[in-house]
Chain A
Amino acid sequence: MLLALEAVPEPAGPPGAAVAPDPIPASVHAVTQTFEDLYRQSRDDLYAYVAGLLRDRVAAEDVTALAFERAFRKWHRFNPARGTARGWLFGIARNAALDELRLRKRQAPLTREPATAEGVATGSMFADPAAHAADRLEQLEREATVARALETLVPADREIVSLKFFAGLSNVEIAEATGISATNVGTRIHRAMTRLRNACQEETR
Chain B
Amino acid sequence: MSDSLTPEQERELQAMEAGAEGRPVGTDLTEFAQLAHDLTASRPEPEPDFVEKLDRAVEESFSRTNGSWFEQLRRRFGMGRRILLPATAGLAGVLVVATVVVAGLDSRRSGEGMRDTAVSFASSTSKETATANSAESTQQAPKAIASGDESGLLGSADDGFTRSLDPVRQGQLRQFGAFADSAESERLVRAGKSVGNRLAAAGQSPRIVQKMGRKVAAAAQITLGTDPDGVQDVANDVIKVVDEHNGIVMDSSVSDGEAGTAGAEFNLSIPSGQVESAISDLSGIADLRERTQETEDITAPFNTTSDRLKTSRARIKGLLGELENAYTDEDRQRVERRLRNERWTARHLQQRMNRLEKRVNMTPISVSVVTDENGSDNSGWGVGDAFDDAGRLLGIAAGVMLIALAISIPIGLMVLIVLAINRGWVRRARNRALNGD
Q: Which residues, 1 to 32 on B, are CB-close (under 8 Å) to A? A: 1-5, 9-10, 12-13, 16, 18-22, 24-25, 27, 29-32
Residues of A close to B18: CB separation below 8 A: 5
Residues of B close to A48: CB separation below 8 A: 43-45
Residues of A close to B434: CB separation below 8 A: 98, 101, 154-156, 159
Q: Which of A22-30, A80-88, A116-124 interfaces with chain B?
A: A116-124
A32 interface residue, CB < 8 Å from B?
Answer: no
Are A193 and B44 touching (Cβ within 8 A)?
A: no
Q: Determine which residue in B2, B12, B39, B46 has the highest number of CB atoms from chain A within 10 A of its CB, and name it.
A: B39
How far is B425's CA from A61's CA once the two chains are assembled, in angstroms? 26
Q: A72-B62, A146-B38 are in contact. Are A154 and B81 (CB under 8 A)?
A: no
Are B3 and A184 touching (Cβ within 8 A)?
A: yes
B57 interface residue, CB < 8 Å from A?
Answer: yes
Residues of B close to A64: CB separation below 8 A: 46, 50, 54
Are B74 and A154 touching (Cβ within 8 A)?
A: no
A57 interface residue, CB < 8 Å from B?
Answer: yes
How far is B73's CA from A73's CA once the two chains are assembled, in angstroms? 13
How far is B45's CA from A115's CA once the two chains are assembled, in angstroms? 9
Contact of A47 among B1, B34, B44, B433 (CB under 8 A): B44
Residues of B close to A43: CB separation below 8 A: 46, 51, 54
Residue on B nearest A98 in the bound complex, by CB = B430
What DSSP secondary structure best describes chain B's contact surface? helix
How far is B5's CA from A40's CA once the two chains are assembled, in angstroms? 35
Are B67 and A69 touching (Cβ within 8 A)?
A: yes
Contact of A193 among B36, B61, B62 (CB under 8 A): B36
What DSSP secondary structure best describes chain A's contact surface? helix
How far is B61's CA from A36's CA once the two chains are assembled, in angstroms? 10
Q: A57-B47, A65-B65, A189-B13 are in contact. Are A155 and B433 (CB under 8 A)?
A: yes
Q: Which residues, 52 to 86 on A, are CB-close (under 8 Å) to B? A: 52, 57, 60-61, 64-66, 68-70, 72-73, 76
Residues of A close to B62: CB separation below 8 A: 68-69, 72-73
Are B4 and A187 touching (Cβ within 8 A)?
A: yes
B404-437 vs A, CB cutoff 8 Å, 1 = contact: the mask equals: 0000000000000000000000100110111110
B52-86 vs A, CB cutoff 8 Å, 1 = contact: the mask equals: 01100110011001010001001100001100000
Are B61 and A189 touching (Cβ within 8 A)?
A: no
How far is B431's CA from A159's CA once the two chains are assembled, in angstroms? 12
Residues of B close to A165: CB separation below 8 A: 16, 20, 36, 39-40, 43
Residues of A in contact, count (CB < 8 Å): 76
Residue on B nearest A102 in the bound complex, by CB = B433
Are B54 and A65 touching (Cβ within 8 A)?
A: yes
Residue on A nearest B66 in the bound complex, by CB = A69
Residues of A close to B75: CB separation below 8 A: 73
B88 interface residue, CB < 8 Å from A?
Answer: no
B41 interface residue, CB < 8 Å from A?
Answer: yes
How far is B51's CA from A143's CA once the two chains are assembled, in angstroms? 24
Q: Name the distance in Å between A179's Cβ and chain B's nearest Cβ.
A: 9
Contact of A4 among B20, B22, B30, B51 (CB under 8 A): B30
Q: A142-B38, A143-B38, A197-B35 are in contact. Are A12 and B61 (CB under 8 A)?
A: no
Residues of B close to A20: CB separation below 8 A: none
Residues of A close to B21: CB separation below 8 A: 11, 13, 17-18
How far is B436's CA from A101's CA once the two chains are assembled, in angstroms? 9
Closest 10 CB pairs of A and B: A102-B433, A51-B44, A98-B430, A2-B34, A154-B436, A143-B42, A114-B42, A47-B46, A101-B433, A13-B21
7 extra interface residue pairs, beta carbon distance < 8 Å, beyond A76-B80, A117-B41, A166-B39: A17-B20, A39-B58, A117-B42, A155-B435, A190-B9, A190-B12, A197-B35
A interface, CB within 8 angstroms of B:
2-6, 8-14, 17-18, 35-36, 39, 43-44, 47-48, 51-52, 57, 60-61, 64-66, 68-70, 72-73, 76, 95, 98-99, 101-102, 110, 112, 114-117, 119-120, 139, 142-147, 150, 154-156, 159, 161, 164-166, 168, 181, 183-184, 186-187, 189-190, 193, 196-197, 200
The 21 listed contacts between A and B (C-beta, < 8 Å) are: A5-B29, A6-B24, A8-B33, A11-B21, A18-B21, A44-B46, A47-B45, A47-B46, A69-B57, A69-B71, A73-B67, A76-B81, A98-B430, A146-B35, A146-B39, A154-B435, A155-B435, A166-B40, A187-B5, A193-B12, A200-B35
